[in-house]
Structure 1
Amino acid sequence: MCFALVLTLGCSLAVAPAAHAAPGAPPAEAFFENPTFTGALLSPSGKYLAAKIAKKGGRSMLAVIDLATRTAQSVAYFEDTDINHVQWVNDQRLLFDTADLKAAQGEIEYGPGLFAVDRDGSKFRQLALRTGTPFALRADADKLLPWHTFMLDQSGAQDSDSVYVQDYQMSGLGNLHRINLLRLNTVSGRWQTVNAPGDAKGWLLDQAGEPRLAITLAEATVGIHLREGDSWRKLASFNNHQGGAQAMQVVGFGAGNTLYVSSARGGDLTALYRYDSASGKLGEQPIVKLPGYDFHGNLVIRDGKLLGVHYLRDGEGTVWLDPALQALQAEIDQRLPGLVNMIELPTDPQAENVLVRAFSDAQPAVYLVYNRRSKALDRIGETYPTINPALMGGQAQVTYAARDGLPVPAMLTLPRGSQGKKMPMVVLVHGGPYVRGSKWGWEPEVQFLASRGYVVLAPEFRGSTGFGSKHFRAGWKQWGLKMQDDIADAVKWAVAEGYADPQRVCIMGASYGGYATLMGLVNDSQLFQCGVNYVGVTDIQLLYRGHWWYSSDLSDEAKRYSMPDMVGDPVKDAEQFKATSPIEQAHRITRPLLLAYGGEDKRVPLVHGTRFRDAVRKGNQQVEWVEYPEEGHGWHNPKNRIDFWKRVENFLDKHIGAGAKTE
């Protein structure tokens, strides 16, 4: 994967005017409408391809393409909802659920349901209820599975009419009690429950498509259990966030007693290892090691043999262990230069067709089918067909040093024509905060900003995951402190490197990113000319104690076991919370600010926004407020996404863009 080459090619256009949309830049609708073609999947034989297709303004339908005849047929479509997750049950039958992609979270009235249909559109059957009244009126509706039955994100054996699905048992808002695994016949609708080792909260199928691994979580202790016949044996046990000597994540099953696991093996970074489930021994040498990154990926295994590994480093990539597949990758890469080409194999190792998902930092994902016999490479569909890659920015992951010397990765996106020029910049702070924030590839939010003439810098501040245990743990109890310093140091680095105009920098983010936006305006007002906070935390104590009117979906387990270590203890760290909660520091924010919240948010309830809005407006009249009453923790309805980002465009233009007043 040659990211440097792609970045160079992507930036070799003529200099464009800075600080506003490039001529011909796509409108906000092109970035924030639902994608038109997604979820492409080859059938087990590779002869058919299923995909979700949506016309502009319409619902997504489930279509099947016969790759031999190049004929397509819609096999499932609903007037009031969209096709969501899809799986091939076998070469004849498909399983799917639904999601209303045109409704905000607070407007969603139904669960996803569960349905099956043959690839020619026949033998449609509803298998699980949606919330309340069954979606399909049936005489045997009382025999349907409950609405909280969900698809398992694993395809199974694909050699019968049966699949495994999950029945979520909740003990309260945000509290998952257990996940029951069910074997479900998609033709008859009959099911049976799989024996579990206690209250399982995760399952993994083996290479035969059978449940062989279960994950339990009791208080803060993770248990990994292996199924042997009708009984279960505990393989490992460790603290959920502290880790330990036995800490590992099982990625997949090989032949015999072989498991493939992600483990740090007592070091800082995780890598992919073989694990012998009989002896409990981890392999001495890693199979895949990603210098500077924790291993994250999935395996390509056929007949018990590991053929390749899809992984995430700065972006996605594949290492093929099979020479024939190495040659196949090289052939496709030669046909599609300048793109990352992710190859997905059907279940049948003799299948002629493979699926290719091709993309770059400037090119949204395109799906193609390559025929290994005829060498034909046919484009099947595009996720965002109205996006012109020539108008998108170029990306690269960079590293800068924080003030205490800690190396901090960041994703840098440069607008077209920005070489050698100091540009207005948006620092985009990810939420979580204990997650991976960005990866190389086209992202609508980032490229929308870049298309408007802004450098976009997304720092993976300490506490972010994917860069080793040291980087992750360095962010514990550092909200508003060293985590915030990392963000400020990113701005100083970008200015010193000549990317950013120091007088035109804005900070922006959602959730924790919204929190960091506010604290950036508190701690480093000399660096930031403005801020955009959407659905951001404003009171750390409120995360723990909640509010009499608004409930939060943060689990009791998180509040009790992980948050005290990672965020802080609400009693012992009360003074720190007061010093680092934006609501307590609102009087110090004098820069222009855009605030946006959802009225149905269960993660950061609306009271975070309204209280802070009222407090900051006492001394700052440059505060814009927008509330989407029906939205939750982010914008689910495309019309709200489009409205919000148009507001962001106008706000940035006014304060750091072409419309900003210069002194």
Structure 2
Amino acid sequence: MRFPSFLRAAALAGAILCGHAPAAEPAKPPPALADFFNNPDFSDAELSPSGKYLAVRVGGKNKRDMLGVVELASNAVKVVGNFSDADIGNFAWVNDNRLVFTATDRDLAQGDMRYAPGLYAINRDGSGFRQLAMRNGKPFITNGSSSTSRELLPWHTYLLDDDGAQDSDYIYVQDRDISYPGQLNHVDLLRLNTVTGRTAATVKRPGDSHYWLLDYQGEPRLTITVDKGTSSMYYLDPATKEWRKLGEYDSYTGKGGRFRPLAFGPDGTLYVTSNNKGNFSAVYTYDLATGKLGDKPLVKLDGYDFRGRLIMNKDKLVGVRHLTDAWSTTWLDPAMKAMQDKIDAMLPNTMNLLTLPKRPESPWVLVTAYADIWPRRVMLYNSETGKLTLVGSAHPAIDPSQMARQTLVHYQARDGLDIPAWLTVPQGGRKNLPMVVLVHGGPFVRGDSWEWSADAQFLASRGYVVLQPEYRGSTGFGLKHFVAGWKQWGLKMQDDIADGTRWAIAQGYADPKRICIAGASYGGYATLMGLINDPDLYQCGVEWAGVTDINLMYDGTWNFASDLPDGYKQYGMPQLVGDQVKDAEQLKATSPLLQAARIKQPLLLAYGTADLRVPLPHGTKFYKAVKQTNPNVEWIEYEEEGHGWKLPKNRIDFWGRVEKFLDKNIGAGAQ
């Protein structure tokens, strides 16, 4: 089988499909900066419910992303969705004949976006096009009929993150009630006919629903409502047609809840995740009649909270996709385990994720292959012929032989807490190299996993060791690890980062006189606090989109609105970050803005003018303060960007500046 030219990825196919890494070429120059930070060449593919057709998002340099469909039996290709002035956004199969998709514009950053995604539907042969939802109050594309325009759903209609049954022309969509800027009040669920564009009555909700879960037959079965910082779970009993409360918990800390819903099985079984009074969450069954968890976990990951999804066929649970250090799959079905083993033998250098169609009627299985040195590639496996076909590569210009290996390491914090961290060491295995401590944002999220990372690999390609600590408060490493980070901004969370830096020095990875700390959002805050708390450790700092004062997160400024939810500021931040009244002195002591004069090291600051999460005054106020006593501060402002850099030109510009800054301060230029 050979894919058409607009779907093929030219590089790496032979060597990768055979499982052999290309031979190293010592004289080869390092990869170009743009190879790391351009948009992916290929980003998404999805099998139809029968597995007979493959939908792909395709594009190219200076071309809009289009939606294509491949008939796998004949290899016939049809471009079915494209806009003259927008790109294809998300897409999903409604059934084996019809797809829905949204619009986006990858050439516009947050400050220039004026439209919502909209919603559209089309048949796989390109017929039956219909716009279903408008963008920003007026139709984006219609068939010209005024009646069609009047029937469009409002701009705040979004796809549900659930495929549903995929056996009719109907889907469920979200109608989000949103207050500016970005405050979610509730989510209504609408049953939408993708052929006529008409909706049935809104699903009755028991409160201000923020989350919906469909059962295996594609019907609404569970919702989570939010009221004053409390989340309540409700089950729609098919016998009574009434909502029944299953439990409640604190929306932001998770206190009080015994479980979280995960999925419904084909037989109606509710699968949930629960700590069950232990440190790590695992997967259990939940008896809807008695309200009891199963006696033993069905899936338990050693050293990790469960994160992932269940893989089912029409009859039963056949596998579990889960995240430990990397994403992988445990198959309960012997035939699928055998298929996984065969594909792993063909692709021994990568993790290989198999995705099955909803109701297989063909031999095709989608394979996503990746590693720390290999960006993701999508392939098709034919279970009858045993052959793999490359569909597309995210970053085909990246040569794996030039990438650095990433390792999950562990070290002890000064109070004895175990801290996981990601260590990326440049090729050659040399000791005492310059190091960048890259701090993840959030902070109450997991920072990374074992896979190709543009930021870390770029830095490693320029000769820097990269350390990425999963400091206390990071999620996924147990309840104890998460809770240990509450109210520890600038305190023990900061100590964890410093302790990791000293560990890397003691292990011989890092030159103690050539270390820079860097990060975005909370990582930007930690960068500034690292320069303040540990001036002996860090010779410089790179901070972008970073929080510079916790009180600014609460209060904002009169002319810059934040999309930080009001509920989080009222009920979450006082418990997780600090109470403005009770912890007033702590918030002052851990404010980079109030302690800017203590930062003497060279510093690179970058902000987006249109950032709604950490509005621009975080940066401008801090820059004004730090410049009074520190002449070595560089300022970058991207007018159209929001919380991070969406546009490749800005990513390339930013990391080019970072490269020069690091070289000057801890790299070859510093020597």
TM-score range, shorter chain: over 0.9
8 Å Cα contact 2:545-2:607 kept in structure 1: yes
8 Å Cα contact 1:420-1:498 kept in structure 2: no
1:14/1:380 CA distance change after superposition, 3 Å: closer
SS of the aligned residue for 2:58 comes to strand
Matched, 1:185 2:193: yes
Q: CA deviation at 1:245?
A: 5.1
8 Å Cα contact 1:257-1:277 kept in structure 2: no
Q: CA deviation at 1:240?
A: 2.0
User: 2:219 is matched with which residue?
Assistant: 210
One-letter amino acid of the counterpart of residue 181, structure 1 = L
8 Å Cα contact 1:274-1:283 kept in structure 2: yes
SS of the aligned residue for 1:411 comes to strand
- Root-mean-square deviation (CA, aligned residues, Å) is 1.7
Q: CA deviation at 1:173?
A: 2.4
SS of the aligned residue for 1:611 comes to helix
Among 331, 348, 370, the alignment partner of 1:337 is 348
User: 1:98 is matched with which residue?
Assistant: 103
Q: How does 1:557-568 map to 2 (within 5 A)?
A: 557-568=567-578
Question: In structure 1, how many angstroms separate the alpha carbons of the residues matched to 2:317 and 2:24?
Answer: 46
Question: In structure 2, how many angstroms separate the alpha carbons of the residues matched to 1:94 and 1:13?
Answer: 43
Matched, 1:357 2:368: yes
Q: CA deviation at 1:591?
A: 0.6
User: 1:401 is matched with which residue?
Assistant: 412
Q: CA deviation at 1:617?
A: 0.8
Question: In structure 1, how many angstroms separate the alpha carbons of the residues matched to 2:651 and 2:127?
Answer: 37
SS of the aligned residue for 1:181 comes to strand
Question: In structure 1, how many angstroms separate the alpha carbons of the residues matched to 2:84 and 2:637?
Answer: 28
Among 513, 526, 532, the alignment partner of 2:523 is 513
Matched, 1:197 2:209: no
1:55/1:200 CA distance change after superposition, 3 Å: same
Tell me the alpha carbon deviations over residues 86-117 of structure 1, each in whole angstroms, 9 at most, x when there is no partner.
10011111111011111110001111010111
One-letter amino acid of the counterpart of residue 104, structure 2 = A
1:606/1:205 CA distance change after superposition, 3 Å: same
Q: CA deviation at 1:493?
A: 0.5
TM-score (normalised: structure 2): 0.94
Question: In structure 1, how many angstroms separate the alpha carbons of the residues matched to 2:255 and 2:603?
Answer: 43
Tell me the alpha carbon deviations over residues 32-80 of structure 1, each in whole angstroms, 9 at most, x when there is no partner.
1111111210011111111111201322111111111223221111122
SS of the aligned residue for 1:506 comes to strand
1:151/1:532 CA distance change after superposition, 3 Å: same
Q: CA deviation at 1:242?
A: 3.7
Question: In structure 1, how many angstroms separate the alpha carbons of the residues matched to 2:535 and 2:253?
Answer: 35
User: 1:3 is matched with which residue?
Assistant: none
SS of the aligned residue for 1:504 comes to strand
Q: Which moved more, 1:363-372 or 1:231-240?
A: 231-240
SS of the aligned residue for 1:583 comes to coil
Q: CA deviation at 1:647?
A: 0.8
Question: In structure 2, how many angstroms separate the alpha carbons of the residues matched to 1:217 and 1:432?
Answer: 21
Q: CA deviation at 1:12?
A: 11
SS of the aligned residue for 2:500 comes to helix
User: 2:10 is matched with which residue?
Assistant: none
SS of the aligned residue for 2:456 comes to helix
User: 1:85 is matched with which residue?
Assistant: 90
Q: CA deviation at 1:451?
A: 1.3
1:38/1:654 CA distance change after superposition, 3 Å: same
Q: CA deviation at 1:255?
A: 4.2
8 Å Cα contact 1:431-1:437 kept in structure 2: yes
Q: CA deviation at 1:351?
A: 3.2
One-letter amino acid of the counterpart of residue 375, structure 1 = G
TM-score (normalised: structure 1): 0.95
Q: CA deviation at 1:256?
A: 3.8
Q: How does 1:96-175 map to 2 (within 5 A)?
A: 96-137=101-142, 138=144, 139=146, 140-175=148-183
SS of the aligned residue for 1:146 comes to coil
Question: In structure 2, how many angstroms separate the alpha carbons of the residues matched to 1:93 and 1:655?
Answer: 56
User: 2:561 is matched with which residue?
Assistant: 551
Tell me the alpha carbon deviations over residues 395-424 of structure 1, each in whole angstroms, 9 at most, x when there is no partner.
11111000111000001111111x142211
User: 1:32 is matched with which residue?
Assistant: 37
One-letter amino acid of the counterpart of residue 108, structure 1 = M
Q: CA deviation at 1:490?
A: 0.7
Tell me the alpha carbon deviations over residues 252-283 of structure 1, each in whole angstroms, 9 at most, x when there is no partner.
11244521111000111101111111111101
Question: In structure 2, how many angstroms separate the alpha carbons of the residues matched to 1:133 and 1:39?
Answer: 29
User: 2:654 is matched with which residue?
Assistant: 644
Tell me the alpha carbon deviations over residues 310-334 of structure 1, each in whole angstroms, 9 at most, x when there is no partner.
0011110111011111101001000
Question: In structure 2, how many angstroms separate the alpha carbons of the residues matched to 1:154 and 1:416?
Answer: 42
1:71/1:255 CA distance change after superposition, 3 Å: closer
Q: Which moved more, 1:622-631 or 1:24-33?
A: 24-33
Q: CA deviation at 1:24?
A: 2.6
SS of the aligned residue for 1:605 comes to coil
Question: In structure 2, how many angstroms separate the alpha carbons of the residues matched to 1:74 and 1:13?
Answer: 38
Q: CA deviation at 1:175?
A: 2.0
Matched, 1:623 2:633: yes
Question: In structure 1, how many angstroms separate the alpha carbons of the residues matched to 2:393 and 2:70?
Answer: 15
8 Å Cα contact 1:212-1:226 kept in structure 2: yes
Q: CA deviation at 1:376?
A: 1.8
SS of the aligned residue for 2:649 comes to helix
Among 369, 381, 385, the alignment partner of 1:374 is 385
1:10/1:537 CA distance change after superposition, 3 Å: farther
User: 1:466 is matched with which residue?
Assistant: 476
Tell me the alpha carbon deviations over residues 472-502 of structure 1, each in whole angstroms, 9 at most, x when there is no partner.
1111111111000000011101111111111
Tell me the alpha carbon deviations over residues 603-635 of structure 1, each in whole angstroms, 9 at most, x when there is no partner.
111111011111111111110000011111111
1:595/1:245 CA distance change after superposition, 3 Å: closer
Number of aligned residue pairs: 648
Tell me the alpha carbon deviations over residues 339-381 of structure 1, each in whole angstroms, 9 at most, x when there is no partner.
0000000011443110000010010111111111121211111
Q: How does 1:251-330 map to 2 (within 5 A)?
A: 251-330=262-341
Matched, 1:502 2:512: yes
Tell me the alpha carbon deviations over residues 185-209 of structure 1, each in whole angstroms, 9 at most, x when there is no partner.
1110001211222221100111111
Question: In structure 2, how many angstroms separate the alpha carbons of the residues matched to 1:577 and 1:628?
Answer: 29
One-letter amino acid of the counterpart of residue 376, structure 2 = A
Q: CA deviation at 1:448?
A: 1.2
1:15/1:503 CA distance change after superposition, 3 Å: farther
8 Å Cα contact 1:207-1:304 kept in structure 2: no
Question: In structure 2, how many angstroms separate the alpha carbons of the residues matched to 1:348 and 1:427?
Answer: 46
8 Å Cα contact 2:439-2:523 kept in structure 1: yes
8 Å Cα contact 1:75-1:120 kept in structure 2: yes
Question: In structure 2, how many angstroms separate the alpha carbons of the residues matched to 1:637 and 1:276?
Answer: 48
SS of the aligned residue for 1:522 comes to helix
Question: In structure 2, how many angstroms separate the alpha carbons of the residues matched to 1:455 and 1:244?
Answer: 38
One-letter amino acid of the counterpart of residue 443, structure 1 = S
Question: In structure 2, how many angstroms separate the alpha carbons of the residues matched to 1:133 and 1:258?
Answer: 43
Question: In structure 2, how many angstroms separate the alpha carbons of the residues matched to 1:107 and 1:568?
Answer: 34
Among 466, 472, 477, the alignment partner of 1:456 is 466
Report sequence identity in percent.
55
One-letter amino acid of the counterpart of residue 33, structure 1 = N
8 Å Cα contact 1:245-1:266 kept in structure 2: no
User: 1:19 is matched with which residue?
Assistant: none
Question: In structure 1, how many angstroms separate the alpha carbons of the residues matched to 2:296 and 2:361?
Answer: 31
8 Å Cα contact 1:409-1:459 kept in structure 2: yes
8 Å Cα contact 1:507-1:528 kept in structure 2: yes
SS of the aligned residue for 1:608 comes to helix
Question: In structure 1, how many angstroms separate the alpha carbons of the residues matched to 2:350 and 2:425?
Answer: 18
Question: In structure 1, how many angstroms separate the alpha carbons of the residues matched to 2:20 and 2:441?
Answer: 28
Question: What stretches of structure 1 move > 4 A for 4+ residues in a row?
Answer: 9-16
Question: In structure 2, how many angstroms separate the alpha carbons of the residues matched to 1:26 and 1:420?
Answer: 20
Q: Which runs of 5+ in 1 are unaligned?
A: 1-5, 17-21
Q: Which moved more, 1:446-455 or 1:293-302?
A: 446-455
8 Å Cα contact 1:425-1:504 kept in structure 2: yes
